[in-house]
Amino acid sequence: MKKIHFLLLLIPLFSFSQTQIQGIIIDNNSKNPLPFATITTNTNFGTLTNVDGRFQIRTKQPFHQITISYIGYSSVTLPIAKNNKFITVKLVPSVENLKEVLITAKENPALKIIRNTINNKPKNNIETALNSFKFNAYNKTLVTADPDSISDKIDSVFILQKGKKKFLKLDSTNYEFKKEIKTKHLYISEKISEFQFQKGKKKKEIVVASRMAGLQQPIYEFLAVTFQDFSFYNEYYTVAGTKYKNPIAKQALKYYNYKILDTVKNEIGHSILIYFKPKKKQPKAGLEGVLFIDNKNFAITKAIAELKGVVNIKATQNYQFQKKYNIWFPNEMEIVLRKGDTNENINLFGGTVKFETDKKNDSIQTSKTNNPSDITYFISKSLNSNIKINVPVIVKGSSATIQFNDNAHKQSKEFWNNYRTDSLTDRGKSTYIFLDSVAKSEGIEKKISIVRNILNGYYPTKYINLNLGKIINLNNYEGLRIGFGGETNPNFSNTFKIESYIAYGTKDKDFKYSLGISSRLNKNTNTWIGGNFTNDLKEAASLDFIAKNTSFSPVNPRNLNISEFYNYKTINTFLTHDIQPNLETKIQLSTGDYLPVFNYQFNSPSKNLVNYSLTTASIGFQYNPKSEYMNSPLGKLTIKKEYPQFTFQVTKSFENIFESDFNFTQINARIFHKIKRLRKATTNILIEGGIVIGDAPITHLFNATPNYTYKNPWIKRITFAGKNSFETMGYNEFISDRFAAIHISHNLKLFKISPKFKPQISFATRAAIGDIDNLEYHNGLAFKKMNKGYFESGLEINSLFKGLGLSAFYRYGPYKNPVWSDNLALKLTFKLNLGF
């Protein structure tokens, strides 16, 4: 089985008794399977066939008879003998039953029920109909297999030689697998949570206990994965991390066909079973299933959604009627993933999944019918309890949709036993013991920590996380910059942090360094106070933000041709605070000395300066309105990165305070939006700009992020493309004290030419406009105004070889150069792929 997803490789089922019977229901005439036919035992145990017409009944209570019903067909009652293992049932169409359904209306009667269900969503959806609610939820997630579905015989392997079968060896794979799976699952994790909801805010989950086999501290990102939506009333329903159009969305009738299957009893009356299926076949498997709809208030009483492809997925939601509030409240959710019978692609957690089959050797034959991967499956089940409706609930920081208590992974056995709504079986206990010992001997927890931190640009040691971005860099002023740096991690302290780095440039032969300390004042609001001293270089006239950059790139290829830097030696003190988890702010006070390390002099009627001092106060905001976060013992983690994202900053320089030489105000802003298109194409839109009010040195103006050099011969101009930079604009060709720019790129989905060769084509267009007052104050560096508007467009072909690609951009408009080759930029592109 191919690597599906990192999470699925880690991650078995609540212990069932022996399967009593399996079977398939088909049409007597066409032999086609009948999906979601109703099957009831004589003991009133009920189930439905799946999308392939197959069913299996597992129950501890003995039964000797089943009844099968399906709308438009005559019902059948069959005796079941103890030796029945698999049966095929053929249903005969019934003209009378069809007439009862079809003749009563001019259109499909299921459509009227669906319309009523859609119209009644506001009063049946608990998140719109109720002012507040809270409940406890117990979740168990496993990867396992049913021992009864595995043969315990040792299979024979033969080789064909000259047309004759010759015994080669015995294959005990199934035998050993059954022996193991009888005593333990492949994996198990548990979670106990309290859910809170307050009208007007997002639902919040507080995890009070969590346990993952093999790990002392769970993988918090995994526990935040949405396997299935809590509510079946949203416009889109999420299954295995992928959104699908809900069959009761506003425009659902355009996308789905519906059919009445049956009517069954519920707690207050009857539910109508309506089968839904996509009208059009899509490149990826579509959602189909059954809605149980109350015939009085048109509320969902149960929902089953299935996906059939290389992976078969079945998501089930059960609702319980709350008589006092006249509403159906979800009380149980279950999702099962198992290997499918088709080659149809399917989306899991945002990626397309395929199972690869082993290459067959025609000369080798085996008597084995199934591999362990064929019968292994993933299941996650949640049971809700202690439901309280319209009680006082105050949800704080609702964009932090998940909050882990610090002691959640340290709860006692007594705590778990008190809160479990489903017992932990002997197989579950054995799984914990076995995997805990394996993980400890193989250092699994340490490997997971390394992966998590590398993705954020750090390599973890016991007490310090080393900053990978500080090890090596290149630019035209320092040459090769070699450094070392990092920060203390929670093993050192949860409330105190030390950050430091040192670097050396082989070309300028000088050291740069920084040392900072900070202390956490409040965990829930992510409030830190701290200070640092820094002696380093920064690109002159760059758009700068004090917010910490969380993106990681070990080398910035655009730096290779930058030579206009300034040295700064500053003392800073700062306070960071989350007004809301998705609204972060930082206040910083700074004072220090600045020296441009290129030919520059600020010469105004009142000032003649080469080096100068600045005392500044800055406040910055980062607002990601649609993103969601988790408060974990590791700190704040992003669990849902959404767009748009807004960055805003104001900096004020105060003249004559700590010998500061300038009095100006700088305002910087950035908006980034990503639109996810069909077929995995994406459109990125970046709008950024700034304005300086008052006289400021060139180091604190704007260059619009150029990335072109006019070297000769022309072949020397082929360098690396930057990220959101103007590839045809010369370095410091334009300087502005107010500017705005827009970058638009459209990225097509990967062309999967081979498993290792997956190039991607991107189209980009960029434009900028700017101006500057008192250009004559800035001496030594020749530059122009950009008040007529700057334009370029181009094409990128990324990931042609080992992350490398090619791009071509052309400059046009008012600033087009007279020589056409001076408008053309050919660049190498590089995209880092860590392989996770």
* Rounded average pLDDT over 203-207: 89
pLDDT at 342: 58
Residue count of the chain: 836
* Rounded average pLDDT over 393-422: 83
Q: Which residue has the tokens 């398939």?
A: 24
Does position 337 have pLDDT exceeding 70, yes or no?
yes
* C-alpha–C-alpha distance, residues 205 and 32, integer Å: 44
Assigned token pair, 4: 């599906």
pLDDT at 99: 45
Closest CA to 638 of 527, 550, 547: 550
pLDDT tens digit string along 54-95?
Answer: 888 877 778 888 888 887 788 888 888 777 778 888 988 875
* Rounded average pLDDT over 801-812: 91
pLDDT tens digit string along 355-390?
Answer: 444 444 455 455 555 667 777 888 899 999 999 999
SS (H, E, C) 224-275: CCCCECCCCCCCEEEECCEEEECCCCCCHHHCEEEEEEEEEECCCCEEEEEE
pLDDT at 7: 37
pLDDT tens digit string along 439-476?
Answer: 888 888 888 888 888 878 899 998 999 999 889 888 88
User: Which residue type does 6 have?
Assistant: F
**Angle (nearest 5°) at CA 557 between 555 and 563:** 110
Instruction: Indicate the helix (H) or strand (E) that contains 722.
Output: none
Strand partners, 212: 189, 215
CB burial class (10 A; 0-12, 13-18, 19+) of residue 737?
buried
Q: Residues of 165-176 as b/e, b for ≥16 C-beta within 10 angstroms?
A: eeebeeeeebbe
Q: Which has the minimum average pLDDT: 186-200, 435-449, 734-748, 781-795?
A: 435-449
Closest CA to 61 of 80, 37, 76, 87: 80
SS (H, E, C) 458-476: EEECCCEEEEHHHCEEEEC
Q: Which residue has the tokens 């700009």?
A: 689
Q: Which has the minimum average pLDDT: 78-82, 152-156, 157-161, 491-495?
A: 152-156
SS (H, E, C) 312-369: EEEEEEEEEEEHHHCEEEEEEEEEEEEECCCCCCEEECCEEECCCCCCCCCCEEECCC
Q: How confident is the model at residue 4 (pLDDT cuts 50, 70, 90)?
A: very low
Assigned token pair, 511: 């050291």
Closest CA to 565 of 785, 773, 731: 731
pLDDT at 2: 36
Averaged confidence pLDDT in the chain: 85
Count of Cβ atoms closer than 10 Å to residue 135 Cβ: 18
* Rounded average pLDDT over 309-329: 90
pLDDT at 344: 53
In sequence order, which ranges of 87-219 are alpha helices (DSSP H)?
95-102, 109-119, 121-124, 126-129, 173-183
Q: How confident is the model at residue 605 (pLDDT cuts 50, 70, 90)?
A: very high
The crossing angle, in degrees rounded to 10, of helices 444-455 and 426-442 is 70
How would DSSP label each residue in 356-401?
A: PPPPP-TTEEES----HHHH-EEEEEEEEEEEEES------STTS-
Assigned token pair, 677: 């298109």
Does position 811 have pLDDT exceeding 60, yes or no?
yes
Does position 105 have pLDDT exceeding 60, yes or no?
no
pLDDT tens digit string along 643-694?
Answer: 999 999 999 999 999 999 999 999 999 999 999 876 678 999 999 999 999 9
Q: How confident is the model at residue 833 (pLDDT cuts 50, 70, 90)?
A: low
Give me the percent of the chain exceeding a pLDDT of 90.
Answer: 45
* Rounded average pLDDT over 421-432: 87
Strand partners, 513: 502, 535
Closest CA to 731 of 476, 549, 556, 521: 476
Strand order from edge to edge, sheet including 65-69: 46-48, 38-41, 65-69, 76-79
Asked if 682 and 350 count as a contact pair (C-beta separation under 8 A), the reply is no
More confident residue, 158 or 724: 724
In 145-203, at which residue ranges do the beta strands (DSSP E only) sit? Answer: 155-161, 164-171, 187-198
The bridge status of strand 510-522 relative to strand 527-539 is antiparallel
Count of Cβ atoms closer than 10 Å to residue 55 Cβ: 22
* Rounded average pLDDT over 96-112: 60
Q: For the chain, which domains are there?
A: 119-441 (no CATH), 523-830 (2.40.160)
* C-alpha–C-alpha distance, residues 724 and 762, integer Å: 13
CB burial class (10 A; 0-12, 13-18, 19+) of residue 781?
middle
pLDDT at 357: 43
Longest dimension (CA), the chain: 105
pLDDT at 226: 75
pLDDT at 168: 59
pLDDT at 354: 44
CA–centroid distance for 363 within its chain:
45
**Distances 558 to 477, 555, 784 between C-alpha atoms, Å:** 13, 9, 22
Q: How confident is the model at residue 623 (pLDDT cuts 50, 70, 90)?
A: very high
pLDDT tens digit string along 51-60?
Answer: 778 888 877 7
Strand partners, 680: none
**Distances 564 to 478, 537, 595, 780 between C-alpha atoms, Å:** 11, 10, 11, 12
Does position 803 have pLDDT exceeding 70, yes or no?
yes
Does position 353 have pLDDT exceeding 50, yes or no?
no
Closest CA to 80 of 36, 42, 28: 42
pLDDT tens digit string along 160-171?
Answer: 766 676 655 655
pLDDT tens digit string along 540-575?
Answer: 999 999 877 655 555 567 777 888 999 999 999 999
Q: Which residue has the tokens 């070392």?
A: 484
